Structure 1
Amino acid sequence: MTRAIKVRYLLALLVATLVPAPPLARADAGPTPGRVVTRTPSDMWTGTWEAAASGTAPALPGASFRNVVHTSVGGRAARVRLSNRLGTAPLRLGAVTLALQRPGSPASPRAVAGSMRTVTFGGAPSVTIPVGADLVSDPVALPVPADTNLLVSLRTPTDSGPATYHRSALQANFLAREGDRTAEESGAGYTTTLGNWYYVTGVDVLGPSAVGSVVTLGDSLTDGTGSTFSANHRWPDRLAARLRGLPPDRRLGVLNAGVAGNRVLLDGRGPSALARLDADVFSRTGVRVVIVMEGINDIKGTPEQTDPRALEDAYRRIVRRAHARGIRVIGATITPYGGHSAYTGAREAVRQAVNAAVRTRGLFDGLADFDATVRDPAHPSRILPAYDPGDHLHFDDAGMKALADTIDLTTLTP
């Protein structure tokens, strides 16, 4: 990660100016244009979905991308976050649309009939995003249910350089290599399946159904590696399901800021956790609490972190920065990885020391003892076989649910 990319990654978000969009089009004239959304006193904007920018992929000029994203909470309007954070040239988007994915079709680019909406930026249907920047759209008048899939489609008409993307989506997304297919309800032109999210990094919803959001900051364990593809069984998804059972005055949207390969202290797969706090946590909408589950890649990576106090100090820095913004921080213990190829006794000693600090030194506002939940009592350095997808590091669907069930919801919305 070059210094220039890191600087661009930390630039403040550029927020689009809200102005009225064009009047409604005829039903046969394409997607419904965006409209100004009137807020009621009980309404608030809440983050419902997030993907942290983790790297870049080659540009595909002339292509249309259809990203499938899953909501945690719902609302009566939405707005979309798009990113050129890691790009090297201004990003030109010729068209952007938002729609509901047809129910029962998790692997289909097909939209619910009549749900297609034009996404605008300052009233315009196209936009150029500067190098290193994120952009938030105008509000889109589309009722968005909780626990549902949305389609965020966009077209890149020209070569805008490397595409900012989230590498490990664990979700079927779609590509039409030629033409503007953003308004196509049938999705027939999307003939290629992708396992990445391109350019889209967040969705917010407007309404009274939640009191804010929780960000889950982590690595591949949070990103969902090991869980079922296109099933939304990552532990943050399972946490969102639990939170939806709470009354609205305690309910939170869940934002997944997991990046596979990420570290707390050093850049690796994307900027370090410390370097991406502003972009992936503090800039998000309505954040009230963050859950930190990260550190295993520092311990087992190259170079490896041999001093547990370095991680302890980093956790304290995260907490101080969050508290300065009125955000609570829940710390998670680092889960076992005995049997993995990177496991050594010396590294296990570091993991145990870090976990002891998380449990006993008051680093965080609350504790999620993931290690205690998933370790094998007969072999404490290993994951329970029932939760192990086979690599002795990540978690299958049952393990993901066990992690989510560990979290005391009263620590999130006290």
Structure 2
Amino acid sequence: MNMRRGYASTMPRGYAILAALISLVVLVCGAIYLGVGPAHGGTAGRTPPHAVVGWVGTWAAAPVEARTEGHRSERSVRNVVHTSIGGSAARVTLSNLLGRRPLTVAHVSLALRAGNGPAAVPGTLRAVTFQGAIAVTIAAGAQSMSDPVAMDVPYDRDLLVTVHTPAGHGTVTVHPRARQTSYVADGDRTRDLTGDAYTTRTRVWQYLTAVDVLTGDARGAVVAVGDSITDGVTSTADTNRRWPDVLADRLNRRGTGHYGVLNEGISGNRLLHDGRGPSTIARFDRDVLARPGARTVILAIGINDLLHGPGTPAAAPVTAGLARLAHRAHAHGLRVIGATLLPCGGHHRCTPAVDAVRGQINAAIRTSRVFDAVVDFDRALRDPYAPARLRPAYDSGDHLHPSDAGYARMGRAVDPARL
């Protein structure tokens, strides 16, 4: 108890009151916004057309698996995440979705990252509370969203979300293959500005599944749902070169409006069947429809159903599954962008039969009326002299996943005007 009182005294005081006030502001702004009619109906004050007033996702990562961290002493995990949109406050979501017993989190902090390591920018470190308390217990299979944290969150910056758990925490819900280095320290190091205590590095995001920002001038969030190609598994680590990152840079630098871009890719994920994480159909509500401010979804999924699915690959089940997701998204008011499947020629699983089915699926995506628009990743990245293969400059070397140049080309292939 003394430790908790000491911790609270080193942070800005009155977080519970501040959280309540910020929440009230959000409710009032939402009421004003709803009172002026649909988003396309005009502006109110300084709010631009099509703006979303309230919470919008700036970063997300789908929970994938549970890992047992052994019997180490209490520790702090400093997750490094990259914002796609800014705001005047933030909130985080911690997950125990795949845990087998309740998860106790003793302290959480949020800060801007300084440089390329685990250090925080002085003056930005904030305590994170949950219903006014610094500690929270999350039931197995559940998640917990924090109170609002008042801070100036810029777009295109790294945040540090540090989670301290006591000894005996057991299984940890993680997103592997993060392509981002995060850090681990022994003990409660949530208050540390320096990164000296964070001597262990990790390439998975632990506990953390979302960061939202409070904004009055965003146009909403674009959710990219897919497999390892969306997850950016072959992109250069610690450089934010996945194709959704490239898209976020384009959207927020070109003056076309401020969009959060959320990467809900899972390496190995399939559209129709569980495997590496639940199928896209099974996780669609959680990872897409429930995202704050979600306005558009890009469906970039299906190749693993051909390469790793049961039985003989066929186009009809995949196209039917994509149509099912499109209908569900439309029912929730989202715009749907269908994405063609990339060439895979040269990959050991991409037989001529698989490639023929891939071609059928792409033809159906291009001509289907179920999508509001199509992004043709296939045409953007294929080799013009060997259309079943990736252009060499866009190939990471495994003939399935793009290189950094290929991911950049994918991010440029999305037309902002169609969002």
Q: TM-score, normalised by structure 2?
A: 0.88
| Alpha-carbon distance, 1:304 to partner | 5.0
2:102 aligns with: 90
Question: Per-residue displacement from partner, 1:151-202 (whole Å, max 9, x unpaired)?
Answer: 00001103233211101100010011x2101111102111001000001001
> Which residue of 325, 332, 338 corresponds with 1:318?
325
1:340 aligns with: 347
8 Å Cα contact 1:298/1:305 also seen in 2:
no
Q: 2: distance between equivalents of 1:325 and 1:363? A: 15
What residue identity is the alignment partner of 1:306?
P
> Which residue of 37, 55, 61 corresponds with 1:45?
55
Q: 2: distance between equivalents of 1:48 and 1:196? A: 19
RMSD over aligned CA atoms reads 1.8
2:189 aligns with: 181
Question: Per-residue displacement from partner, 1:289-308 (whole Å, max 9, x unpaired)?
Answer: 10010111110114255120
**Secondary structure at the counterpart of residue 360 of structure 2:** helix
1:6 aligns with: none
| Alpha-carbon distance, 1:361 to partner | 2.3
Number of corresponding residues: 383
Q: Would you say 1:291 and 2:298 are equivalent positions?
A: yes
| Alpha-carbon distance, 1:29 to partner | 4.5
Q: 2: distance between equivalents of 1:195 and 1:261? A: 17
Structure 1 gaps, min length 5: 1-24
> Which residue of 199, 206, 211 corresponds with 2:207?
199
What residue identity is the alignment partner of 2:296?
V
Cα 1:61–1:276 change in 2 (3 A) is farther
8 Å Cα contact 2:273/2:309 also seen in 1:
no
1:7 aligns with: none
8 Å Cα contact 1:49/1:202 also seen in 2:
yes
Q: Would you say 1:119 and 2:99 are equivalent positions?
A: no
Q: 1: distance between equivalents of 2:311 and 2:187? A: 47
Q: Would you say 1:309 and 2:316 are equivalent positions?
A: yes
8 Å Cα contact 1:65/1:155 also seen in 2:
yes
Q: 1: distance between equivalents of 2:155 and 2:135? A: 28
**Secondary structure at the counterpart of residue 203 of structure 1:** strand
**Secondary structure at the counterpart of residue 326 of structure 2:** helix
8 Å Cα contact 2:90/2:151 also seen in 1:
yes
8 Å Cα contact 2:73/2:187 also seen in 1:
no
| Alpha-carbon distance, 1:62 to partner | 1.0
Cα 1:204–1:321 change in 2 (3 A) is same
What residue identity is the alignment partner of 1:32?
P
1:387 aligns with: 394
8 Å Cα contact 1:357/1:363 also seen in 2:
no
Q: Would you say 1:162 and 2:171 are equivalent positions?
A: yes
2:90 aligns with: 78
> Which residue of 218, 223, 228 corresponds with 1:220?
228
| Alpha-carbon distance, 1:131 to partner | 1.3
Question: Per-residue displacement from partner, 1:217-276 (whole Å, max 9, x unpaired)?
Answer: 00000001111100001000000011103547x321000000000000011110000010
Q: Would you say 1:358 and 2:368 are equivalent positions?
A: no
What residue identity is the alignment partner of 2:147?
D
| Alpha-carbon distance, 1:336 to partner | 0.5
**Secondary structure at the counterpart of residue 275 of structure 1:** helix
Q: Would you say 1:30 and 2:10 are equivalent positions?
A: yes
Q: Would you say 1:57 and 2:67 are equivalent positions?
A: yes
Q: 1: distance between equivalents of 2:288 and 2:167? A: 31
> Which residue of 201, 221, 241 corresponds with 1:233?
241
> Which residue of 97, 116, 130 corresponds with 2:139?
130
Structure 2 gaps, min length 5: 30-46, 48-52
Question: Per-residue displacement from partner, 1:130-168 (whole Å, max 9, x unpaired)?
Answer: 111121100001110000000000011032332111011
| Alpha-carbon distance, 1:411 to partner | 1.5
**Secondary structure at the counterpart of residue 230 of structure 1:** coil
User: 135-144 or 302-311: which moved more?
Assistant: 302-311
| Alpha-carbon distance, 1:320 to partner | 1.2
Structure 1 stretches of 4+ with a deviation exceeding 2 A read 25-43, 158-161, 245-248, 302-305
**Secondary structure at the counterpart of residue 218 of structure 2:** coil
What residue identity is the alignment partner of 1:30?
T
Q: TM-score, normalised by structure 1?
A: 0.89
**Secondary structure at the counterpart of residue 73 of structure 1:** coil
What is the percentage of aligned positions where both structures have the same residue? Answer: 47
8 Å Cα contact 1:74/1:209 also seen in 2:
no
2:44 aligns with: none
Q: Would you say 1:257 and 2:264 are equivalent positions?
A: yes
8 Å Cα contact 1:61/1:156 also seen in 2:
no
2:410 aligns with: 403
1:281 aligns with: 288
